[in-house]
Copies of this chain bind each other. A is one copy, B any other.
Amino acid sequence: MHFSAPLQLRSGASLADYTLVYETYGTLNADRSNAVLVCHALNASHHVAGMYAGEGGAKNVGWWDNMVGPGKPVDTDRFFVIGVNNLGSCFGSTGPMHINAATGKPYGAAFPVVTVEDWVNAQARLADALGIEQFAAVMGGSLGGMQAMAWSIMYPQRIRHSVVIAATPKLSAQNIAFNDVARQAILTDPDYHGGDYYAHGVVPKNGLRVARMVGHITYLSNADMAEKFGRELRNGDYQFGYGIDFEIESYLRYQGEKFSEYFDANTYLLITKALDYFDPARAFNGNLTKALANTRAGFLLVSFSTDWRFAPACSREIVQALVNNKRKVTYAEIDAPHGHDAFLLEDRRYVNVVRSYYNNIWNEINVAAPEEKVQA
């Protein structure tokens, strides 16, 4: 969907016009009360669930296909689910690789730094265009969870529920440090060319590869890595060189390589900045309770015991601030071995919590009278 009205950004810059790519699943009901917005994290897209006709293979499966679909926890037989690709992405919505109408060249480094709040504003315009006054829920994991949280603050009347999974109210110094290592790897790659590498026919692949490797380590738990890879050797013995000795090296280099082939470096820079900048309590002298005071939604928060990127304590901080505000909040801390990545994986208890929560939303929107809904 193309938007021709300028979008004012938090940085002070604005985008003259832009396109958002989105996908929908299920059917919007007559009173438009069953819409669910799914927000994506760092490297995902609008392709949340299902497969494209005629395209096979695991790569074609939506990134949250285990969560969203007919009969699944977010049941598309009941809900009208929207997946939207965020501004600045490299998967279709307007981003650094697109032509800047003002110059006739790709934006490159000139694409403005966008924030979680900017994304939410852009998403709200999409909701306007689709005639959705209020979402039954806005949901997401990690950076997607931050968007669900920002929705509850910025548009309190427009969401009944906020589903915030494996998220944090703000990045820690360590989180920012890892992001900055990733950015420095990209920015100092000679193929980065100040962000205008498109014109040079190259991409800062080495930098992006290293960026992804370091990021990937933070998505996995130490214990999970130990169990999956341990000190297993690729070729039975030490090679005494700088090729691959350990299976974990093989895995990480492969992940980095794969990522550097499909992801855009400018997008990576942008998105890590959006993560670093997210901090709704900042406008309230660090008081998260005050930042959440105007929320009206019900909340589901989920965290995972071995997530050391956004540890359970981060989710608990949000829960406490919501409780301080006497909000209705459900919190599940799932004992799962897979670190931060757990939010994308199958886990019976996790999936059941989300399923139950959406069952309740379903019951709620079907018993509530229309006038109640508008006030909710």
| Interface positions of A (Cβ within 8 A of B) | 11-13, 112-113, 170-174, 176-178, 180-181, 183-185, 187-190, 206, 209-210, 213-214, 217, 220, 222, 225-226, 228-231, 238, 240-242, 245-246, 248-249, 252-253, 256, 269, 273, 276-277, 279, 282
Number of copies: 2
Q: Establish whether residues A173 and B231, one from each chain, have CB atoms under 8 Å apart when the complex forms.
A: yes
In the assembled complex, how far is the CB of residue A199 from the closest CB belonging to chain B, in whole angstroms? 19
- Among B12, B187, B225, contact of A242 (Cβ-Cβ < 8 Å): B187
Q: Establish whether residues A181 and B226, one from each chain, have CB atoms under 8 Å apart when the complex forms.
A: no
Q: Establish whether residues B248 and A177, one from each chain, have CB atoms under 8 Å apart when the complex forms.
A: yes
Q: Establish whether residues B184 and A231, one from each chain, have CB atoms under 8 Å apart when the complex forms.
A: no
Q: Establish whether residues A222 and B252, one from each chain, have CB atoms under 8 Å apart when the complex forms.
A: no
Residues of B within 8 A of A209 (CB): 184, 188
Apart from the given pairs A178-B214, A231-B279, 11 other A-B contacts in the complex at a CB distance below 8 Å: A113-B241, A172-B222, A172-B226, A173-B222, A173-B225, A181-B217, A181-B252, A184-B256, A188-B209, A188-B210, A210-B210
Report Cα–Cα, A277/B249, bound state, in Å: 13
Q: Establish whether residues A190 and B188, one from each chain, have CB atoms under 8 Å apart when the complex forms.
A: no
Residues of B within 8 A of A214 (CB): 178, 181, 214
Chain B: CB-nearest residue to A109: B242
Residues of B within 8 A of A184 (CB): 209-210, 213, 253, 256
Q: Establish whether residues B181 and A240, one from each chain, have CB atoms under 8 Å apart when the complex forms.
A: no
Residues of B within 8 A of A242 (CB): 183, 187, 269, 273
Report Cα–Cα, A220/B174, bound state, in Å: 9
Chain B: CB-nearest residue to A270: B242
Chain B: CB-nearest residue to A243: B187
Q: Establish whether residues B188 and A206, one from each chain, have CB atoms under 8 Å apart when the complex forms.
A: yes
Residues of B within 8 A of A112 (CB): 240
Q: Establish whether residues A113 and B240, one from each chain, have CB atoms under 8 Å apart when the complex forms.
A: yes
In the assembled complex, how far is the CB of residue A191 from the closest CB belonging to chain B, in whole angstroms? 9
Report Cα–Cα, A112/B206, bound state, in Å: 26
Q: Establish whether residues A190 and B190, one from each chain, have CB atoms under 8 Å apart when the complex forms.
A: yes
Given contacts A174-B217, A188-B209, A217-B174, contact A180 B252 (CB under 8 A): yes
Residues of B within 8 A of A11 (CB): 238, 240
In the assembled complex, how far is the CB of residue A230 from the closest CB belonging to chain B, in whole angstroms? 6
In the assembled complex, how far is the CB of residue A88 from the closest CB belonging to chain B, in whole angstroms? 12
Q: Establish whether residues B176 and A277, one from each chain, have CB atoms under 8 Å apart when the complex forms.
A: no
Q: Establish whether residues A178 and B210, one from each chain, have CB atoms under 8 Å apart when the complex forms.
A: no
Residues of B within 8 A of A220 (CB): 174
Chain B: CB-nearest residue to A220: B174
Chain B: CB-nearest residue to A187: B242
Chain B: CB-nearest residue to A114: B240
Report Cα–Cα, A256/B185, bound state, in Å: 12
Q: Establish whether residues A180 and B213, one from each chain, have CB atoms under 8 Å apart when the complex forms.
A: yes
Residues of B within 8 A of A225 (CB): 172-174, 177
In the assembled complex, how far is the CB of residue A214 from the closest CB belonging to chain B, in whole angstroms? 5
* 9 residue pairs, one from A and one from B, having the closest CB atoms: A11-B240, A188-B206, A173-B225, A113-B240, A173-B229, A173-B248, A180-B249, A181-B213, A174-B222
Report Cα–Cα, A249/B209, bound state, in Å: 20
Given contacts A184-B253, A253-B184, contact A171 B231 (CB under 8 A): yes
Most buried by B among A184, A187, A225: A184
